[in-house]
Structure 1
Amino acid sequence: MKPFADALLAWFDRHGRHDLPWQHPRDAYRVWLSEIMLQQTQVVTVVGYFERFVAALPDLRALAAAPEDQVLALWSGLGYYRRARFLHRAAQLCVERHGGELPRDFDALAALPGIGRSTAGAILAQAHGLRFSILDGNVKRVLARYHGIHGHPGTSAVEKQLWRHADEHTPAARVADYTQAIMDLGATVCTRGKPRCEACPLAAGCVARRDGLVAQLPSPKPTKATPVRATVMLILRDAHGRVLLERRGPQGVWSGLWSLPEAADIDSAWRDAKRHAHIDDAQALAPFVHVFSHYKLRVEPLLFDGATAPRGIADNPALRWCGTGELAALGLPAPVRKLLQQIEGTTA
Structure 2
Amino acid sequence: MPNHHRRSKAIAISALLSLSAYTGLGQASVVTFKIDSLSTSNANYVEVEDIGFSDDKGGIAANTDRFYATGDGGTMNVDANTLSGAATSSHDALFTNINGGQLYSFSTNGSSAFSLPGGPNPAPGFTFTSIITLDPITMTAGPAITLSSAITFGNAKMNGVFAGYDNVILFENTSGATGNGNVTGNAHKIDLATGNVTTTSGVTMNAKTAENWAFYGVAEYFGGQDYLAHVTGVNPTNEIVRTNISNNLTETIATFSNNPGLGDLHEFTVVPDTNRWYFHTEANATDFGPAIASGNELIGYADMVMTIETTGGSGGASVPVPGSLAIFGIGLTGLIARRRRNAVADAA
Scaled to the shorter chain, the TM-score interval is under 0.3
The TM-score normalised by the length of structure 2 is 0.27
The TM-score normalised by the length of structure 1 is 0.27
Task: Write 1 or 2 for the structure with the bigger share of helix.
Answer: 1
Task: Write 1 or 2 for the structure with the bigger share of strand.
Answer: 2
Higher relative contact order (CA 8 A, sep 6+): 2
Higher Rg: 1
